[in-house]
Amino acid sequence: MNIDTVVKDKLIVFLKKWWLFVLFFGVLFTNLLAVNASAFFETCYSSTIYPVITQILTHLTNWMPFSLTEVLVIALMAFGLIGIVLAILRKWQFKKFIALLIQLLALIYVCFYLFWGFNYYRLPITKRMDLPAVAIDSTMFRMTLSQVLDEANAAYVPIRNLDKDQIDHAIERGFKRVAQQLNLDLPGGLRNPKTLLFNIFLDKTLTSGFFSPITHELHINKSLLFVEYPFTLAHEKSHQMGIANEAEANFLAYLVCLASGDPAAQYSARMEVLGEFLGRGRRILSDYADFRARIAPGIVADFRAINQRWRRHQGAVSKVSSQAYDRYLKANRISEGIKNYRGVVEMVIRWKTGADGEMEIENPASEK
């Protein structure tokens, strides 16, 4: 037996035993070295490997009538609880339980980044769309707020009923149009929204919906009002399209809803974006009340209904979960943390300042 064969055999034995930790440290070091490497992640992950991953994963999980994510979370919690009880009763060695738990957590960490999380490091959508860089001063903000406000007023439709399949088709159509017109590479895959058995988890954490980075399922909170549904659906679908940044997911959802050709989806997006603009206006404009007075009564009623729904669930759980999400975003190089959602305001201003503006998106060719 020559030395090469001995080394090879030893390496195989080592990898068989330690493959998870090799992967874990590989992912960990990639994360640590990921600073200023967005072009690399864009080329070598987001536009090449990721589309294949999401095709495979969505085909594996989309057909399931339940949320695999929910099943896995419950199984993990049950494993933790049963493990602790068995360890206390000395029916299971505590060391073995902890070792297994660490392996499971390492596996989740590895899958999270390999399956989706590296999208946090890709090129910003503003760069991929070549949006003009503009210095946003208060005059420009005021002007765009006024425009966004008029557009929302004009788009207002009372949504008393919603055909969710129809909205789903309209949004998928919107994604196709946006991808074609803006030359954006958006990956394929299946994205039927799912709901949770324990929807209370979403209510209590004030979550409208979420995309699961490991199973690639998207979930929508059952308690959403009709007016919130289309925009939330488009936002979660944007995450499946490889958009990790929350502001970018909001911005893409806005464009997609406008391009969907569906009046309910268009109003839903205009209202949500107006909400973000008003939030900023309230903080920085001395004449905010003048803008506030111009909002159509129907939209005011919708804002009020949404606020009431959220307020019902505000409490200790929502506080802790929002702090946790803030830390999570910061750990993934989103320096502004939970305020990242608000970044959609800058993007909309830049979009509206752009040469071909939103006219093209709003009046798409009437393809079927």
Min separation Cβ 30 and Zn ion, Å: 23
- The rounded distance, in Å, linking the Cα atoms of 210 and 232 is 9
- The rounded distance, in Å, linking the Cα atoms of 257 and 205 is 26
Min separation Cβ 235 and Zn ion, Å: 6
Min separation Cβ 239 and Zn ion, Å: 6
Q: Which is nearer to Zn ion, 141 or 219 (CB)?
A: 219
- The rounded distance, in Å, linking the Cα atoms of 45 and 200 is 35
Q: How many angstroms separate the Cα of 216 from the Cα of each of 53, 91, 105, 206, 332?
A: 9, 37, 18, 21, 19
- The rounded distance, in Å, linking the Cα atoms of 27 and 33 is 10
Q: Which is nearer to Zn ion, 295 or 334 (CB)?
A: 334
Min separation Cβ 249 and Zn ion, Å: 5
- The rounded distance, in Å, linking the Cα atoms of 359 and 91 is 68
Min separation Cβ 209 and Zn ion, Å: 8
Min separation Cβ 232 and Zn ion, Å: 9
Q: Which helix (H) or strand (E) holds 315?
A: none
Query: Which residue do the tokens 């939970």 mark?
Result: 338
Q: Which is nearer to Zn ion, 97 or 325 (CB)?
A: 325
Q: Which is nearer to Zn ion, 219 or 270 (CB)?
A: 219
Q: Which is nearer to Zn ion, 24 or 341 (CB)?
A: 341
Token output for 199: 């929807």
Question: What is the x/- site pattern for Zn ion, positions 67-86, by CB under 5 A?
Answer: --------------------
From 216, 228, 225, 246, select the one nearest 346 (Cα to Cα). 246
Q: Which helix (H) or strand (E) holds 236?
A: helix 229-240
The answer to whether 302 touches 225, Cβ cutoff 8 Å, is yes
Q: Where in 141-200 is the site for Zn ion (CB under 5 A)? A: none
Token output for 68: 């695999």
Total binding residues toward Zn ion, as defined by CB under 5 A: 2
- The rounded distance, in Å, linking the Cα atoms of 332 and 334 is 6
Concatenate the DSSP letters of all residues of 50-75 into one string.
HHHHHHHHHHHHTT-SS-HHHHHHHH
Q: Which is nearer to Zn ion, 42 or 246 (CB)?
A: 246
Q: Which is nearer to Zn ion, 249 or 345 (CB)?
A: 249
Min separation Cβ 94 and Zn ion, Å: 38
CA angle 261, 187, 248 (to 5 degrees): 65
Min separation Cβ 211 and Zn ion, Å: 7
The answer to whether 223 touches 306, Cβ cutoff 8 Å, is no
Q: Which is nearer to Zn ion, 156 or 341 (CB)?
A: 341
Q: Which is nearer to Zn ion, 122 or 295 (CB)?
A: 122
DSSP 194: E
Token output for 145: 């707020």
Q: Where in 234-253 is the site for Zn ion (CB under 5 A)? A: 246, 249
Min separation Cβ 245 and Zn ion, Å: 9
Question: What is the x/- site pattern for Zn ion, positions 249-288, by CB under 5 A?
Answer: x---------------------------------------
Min separation Cβ 359 and Zn ion, Å: 27
- The rounded distance, in Å, linking the Cα atoms of 30 and 25 is 8
Q: Where are the alpha helices (DSSP H) in 156-220?
A: 164-182, 200-204
Q: Which is nearer to Zn ion, 178 or 249 (CB)?
A: 249
**Interface positions with Zn ion (CB under 5 A):** 246, 249
